[in-house]
Amino acid sequence: MPYKKFFAAKTTTGAGTAYQWLGGMGTVTANGFGSSGAVTLQMSPASSTGPFVTSSTDAILNAASTAQAFNFQMNPGIWIRPIVTVASTTGINYWLHLRRKR
């Protein structure tokens, strides 16, 4: 799976579309926080409508730097979605990438 862009210049809070994870390791990348802004990855084993929980405190990206990324690993069938928890004046960009073993 190539990088999937969930948000492009998002300036408001709120969740992105839920995606059923195929399993394995993934990478999340985000930038555009400006002087504020925070985004995280949420997960739900139940369904695309939740309930969702934040996957980890390590999965919170914020205005501490101009671009950030983290890796994660989840079992197949888990529903994941990005959520902007603090709005950004410049607009947050958010990508997800599945890293497959070769």
pLDDT bucket at 99, cuts 50 / 70 / 90: low
* Ordered domains of the chain (ranges, CATH): 4-99 (2.60.120.680)
Query: Phi and psi (nearest 5°) for 99?
Result: -100, 110
CB 45 within 8 A of CB 20: no
Closest among 85, 62, 82, 90 to 13, alpha carbons compared: 85
Comparing 77 with 31, which gets the higher pLDDT? Answer: 77
CB 15 within 8 A of CB 42: yes
User: Pseudo-torsion of CA 17, 18, 21, 25, nearest 10°?
Assistant: 60
Average pLDDT for the chain: 82
Comparing 91 with 48, which gets the higher pLDDT? Answer: 48
Q: Please report the pLDDT score of residue 102 as a whole number.
A: 44
